Structure 1
Amino acid sequence: MILVFGSLNIDLVAKVPIIPGSGRTVLAPSYQTHFGGKGANQAVAAARIAGPRQVQMAGRVGRDAFGDGAIANLRSNDVDTALVVRADEPTGCAFITVDEAGENAITVASGANMTANAGDLPAVLFGADTVLVLQMEVPFAQALAAARRTRSASGTVIWNLAPVPEKMTREMVTELLAATDYLIVNEHEALDGAAAIGVNASDYETAAAELAKTGNLTCIVTAGAQGALAVTSDGTRLRAPAPRVTPVDTTGAGDTFAGAFAAMIHERVPLQTALKVGCEAAARKCLTPGAQAGMPMRAQIPSLA
C-alpha cells in the first residue's frame, strides 16, 4: 500500500504576464480553482499510475465546502480517504500565479493542514509493504513520527523536502534523513538541505551526494528540463532524461514525479526505471494547467504503455 500523509489544499490560479515582485501589482483577467496540496497531489499522481485501491491519503481538511470538494476529488481519483479527518480550521488554500513561460509563484495558507496528526494512522497500516510518502506542508513532528513508525515496521519512506521551512535546523534535517529511504529534492532544496547539515556545496550533485551519505539513503534530485539524478549512499549516480515538451503550466510537476516514483518503488522496479517513469509523468503533466488535471494515467507513460 502507498500511504500519503500530508496536505490537502484548494489552489486558486491566476495567469499573469509577469510574476509580481515586492510592492508590485499585476492584473489577471480571471482565475481558476483547482485541487492541490502537495500531499493530495502526490496521492493522485500515485493512484493514476498504481491503480485503484493502492493509495490511501491521510491528512486534514476543514468543515467547509472546500473540504467537501477535496475529499470528493480524491475519491474520484481512486484514492482512499478514510483517514482524511475534518478539523475546525479551514481547508488549506494556495494562491498561485503563472507567467507566460509557465513558471509559477505560490503562497500557501495552511489552515487545517497544521492540525494533521500521525495519531490518526492506525497501526494496521504499517508493514513491510507500506510505502509512506511525506512532504513539508504538515507539522514536521507529526511527519517524523509517521516516518519512524513506518521504518520500525520495515516499510519504505519517501520524503519530499518541499517546501523548505524558513527555519530549517541541523537537528531537523538530521532526524529527517535518519528516518528516510528516498529523499526527493529539487536543485535548490538539495543545496538548502546540505547547508542545514553544515555542507557548503557548490552544486546540487555534490549536495545530493552529501545528503545521501549522511542519511545512508538515496537522494533524488528533480532538475526540470535536465531530468532527474539519483545518488545512493555509496556514491553511485543514476540519471534519467526529461522528455522535451513546451510547458503550459509547471505547477504540480514535482508532485507528479514524486507520486509516480512512489508507485514504481511500491512495485519494486529498478531505481533507473522509477526515475524514468517519474520524469515522463512530470513532463506530461506540464502540458495541462493546474496541479492535478494533467497528471497522466499509467497508459500514457511511454515506459509503462
Structure 2
Amino acid sequence: MTTRAGVLCAGSVVADVAKVIDAYPALDHLATIEQVSTGTGGPGLNMAVDLRLLGAAFDVGMLGAVGDDLHGDLMLAACATLRIDTTGVARIPGAVTSFTDVMVERDGGRRTFFHHRGANALFDGATADLGRSSARILHAGAPGIHETMDTALPGGGNGWSALLRRARAAGMHTNLELVDLPPQRMRRLVEPCLPYVDSLVINELEAGALTGLDAPVPTADGPVDWATLERMALRLIDGGVSTLAVVHFPAGCVAAAPGGRTWRQGSVRLSRTQIRSTTGAGDAFAAGVVLGLHERWPVDRCLRLGAASAAACVTSPHTSDGIPAAGACLAAADRAGYRPTGRPGDDRGR
C-alpha cells in the first residue's frame, strides 16, 4: 500500500429511483407517491460517489456494467461530474441498466426495495484488467446480486474471490461489502472470499448470517448486546479477514483486528424527525471507514467518520445527497453527540 493511492470500486452500478410515499399500504390497497427522484446507487457505485462527496482527494475509479439506456447515461454522467473514472465500466448493448425502485415512507424513512438486476448480472470482474490501476484499495460490493460474479468457478471460489485474490496479488488492500442474503447462500458466496479480504464492513444481519451468532439491534436506542457483536467481528477475523472487521448497526458499530483488539463507536444522536431515508446509510458508513483506511487513520477515527457519514446520509431522502465533506460530517456529529457503547471513554461528543 505504500506506493499506491486511490480507491477502485468494483460491482453494483444501480439507478436508484426513490419514491417517497405517505405510508405503506396493505396488500391490494393504495399508497400515494409524493416525490420521485433518480440517483446513483448500488454497493459499488455508492462507495465511489460517497468518497467524492466526503472530499477524497485521491483517484476514484469504477469497475462495473451499464446498459445503453437512459439510466446508463445518467449514471455515467453522474460519475463524470464527480470525477469518477469509468474506464472500467462496460456499456452492454441491449442490456438494461440495473435499477431499484425504493419506496420510502415519509415519516421515519423506512424503505422497501424492488430491484432489477439488469446489466449487473452480466458484469464479470474476475478477469478485469487491474494492471493499469495504481489504486491503494480495491472495494468490492456485493456478492449475491451479480449472476456472473456469483457463479462458482471450476477451480473453486467464484468471480468475487477471483477478483479479490488478483487485487491482493497486485498489491491492493481489499475491502468487501455485502447485501442481506439468506444465511446458507451468504456463506456459500462469501466464505471463499474471506482469505483474500483485508477489511470487511457489513451490518449485524450480514455478520450474523456469516458467523451463526445472533444479536439483533432493531432500533438505534437499543438494547445492544455489545459483547456478542464484538464476538461477531472477532469471528470474522478468525474466518480470514486479515486486518479489520467492522460490524455496523443502528446504535453504532464494533470492529476487531487480529490479536483480539476490539473497538466500539456509538451512532450519532438523531431524532426521528431528522431521518428522511435510511437508503444508502450502510454504504455511507463504509465510505467513511474506507476513506480513513486509505489515509491510514487510527481505527477509532475511521469508525467515527463512518458514523458521521451515515448520519449525514439519512437526513436526505436521496441515497448520497446529504453527505458533505468529511470535516463537516464530523463537526455536525460531534455537535449532536453519540450514543453510549457501554464502555467508558468511547462516547466522545455526548
Deviations 1:72-98 (A, max 9, x none): 101111211111110131100101111
Select 2:165's aligned residue among 138, 148, 160.
Answer: 148
Q: Distance in 2 between matches of 1:166 and 1:276?
A: 29
Select 1:296's aligned residue among 303, 308, 324.
Answer: 324
Select 1:176's aligned residue among 187, 193, 202.
Answer: 193
Q: Are 1:7 and 2:32 an aligned pair?
A: no
CA 125–201 in structure 1, closer or farther in 2 if over 3 Å, else same: farther
Matches within 5 A, 1:264-275: 264-275=292-303
* AA matched with 1:66: H
Q: Are 1:248 and 2:265 an aligned pair?
A: no
1:135 corresponds to which residue? Answer: 141
Q: CA deviation at 1:28?
A: 2.1
Q: Distance in 2 between matches of 1:177 and 1:51?
A: 27
Matches within 5 A, 1:43-192: 43-52=48-57, 54-88=59-93, 89-99=95-105, 100-118=107-125, 121-125=128-132, 130-136=136-142, 137-138=145-146, 139-140=149-150, 141-164=158-181, 168=185, 170-192=187-209
Matches within 5 A, 1:229-240: 229-240=254-265
1:39 corresponds to which residue? Answer: 44
Q: CA deviation at 1:20?
A: 4.8
More off after superposition, 110-119 vs 209-218: 209-218
1:211 corresponds to which residue? Answer: 236
Q: In 1, are the aligned partners of 2:48 and 2:61 still within 8 Å (CA)?
A: yes
* AA matched with 2:191: T
* AA matched with 2:47: Q
What residue ranges of structure 1 are gaps of 5+ in the alignment? none
Q: Distance in 1 between matches of 2:309 and 2:31?
A: 32
Q: Distance in 2 between matches of 1:233 and 1:24?
A: 52
Q: Distance in 2 between matches of 1:14 and 1:60?
A: 24
Q: In 2, are the aligned partners of 1:148 and 1:179 still within 8 Å (CA)?
A: yes
* AA matched with 2:61: Q
* AA matched with 1:19: Y
Counting aligned pairs with the same residue, the percent is 26
Q: CA deviation at 1:265?
A: 0.9
CA 21–87 in structure 1, closer or farther in 2 if over 3 Å, else same: farther
TM-score, structure 1 length as denominator? 0.89
TM-score, structure 2 length as denominator? 0.78
CA 214–23 in structure 1, closer or farther in 2 if over 3 Å, else same: farther
Q: In 2, are the aligned partners of 1:51 and 1:78 still within 8 Å (CA)?
A: no
Q: CA deviation at 1:169?
A: 5.6
CA 105–204 in structure 1, closer or farther in 2 if over 3 Å, else same: farther
CA 30–281 in structure 1, closer or farther in 2 if over 3 Å, else same: closer
User: 3-state DSSP class of the match of 1:282?
Assistant: helix
Q: Distance in 2 between matches of 1:303 and 1:151?
A: 35
Q: In 2, are the aligned partners of 1:257 and 1:279 still within 8 Å (CA)?
A: yes
Select 1:193's aligned residue among 199, 210, 216.
Answer: 210
Q: Are 1:221 and 2:247 an aligned pair?
A: yes
CA 134–23 in structure 1, closer or farther in 2 if over 3 Å, else same: farther
Q: In 1, are the aligned partners of 2:22 and 2:34 still within 8 Å (CA)?
A: no
Q: In 2, are the aligned partners of 1:19 and 1:105 still within 8 Å (CA)?
A: no
Question: What is the aligned-residue RMSD (CA, Å)?
Answer: 2.4
Q: Are 1:281 and 2:309 an aligned pair?
A: yes
More off after superposition, 156-165 vs 1-10: 156-165
Q: Distance in 2 between matches of 1:264 and 1:250?
A: 22
User: 3-state DSSP class of the match of 1:124?
Assistant: coil
* AA matched with 1:222: H
Q: CA deviation at 1:247?
A: 1.2
Higher relative contact order (CA 8 A, sep 6+): 1
Give aligned pairs, total: 299
Q: Distance in 1 between matches of 2:54 and 2:116?
A: 29
Q: Distance in 1 between matches of 2:315 and 2:7?
A: 26
What residue ranges of structure 2 are gaps of 5+ in the alignment? 1-5, 151-157, 216-227, 335-350
Q: Distance in 2 between matches of 1:277 and 1:114?
A: 32
Q: CA deviation at 1:61?
A: 0.4
2:341 corresponds to which residue? Answer: none
Q: Distance in 2 between matches of 1:168 and 1:21?
A: 30
Larger Rg, first or second structure (1 or 2): 2
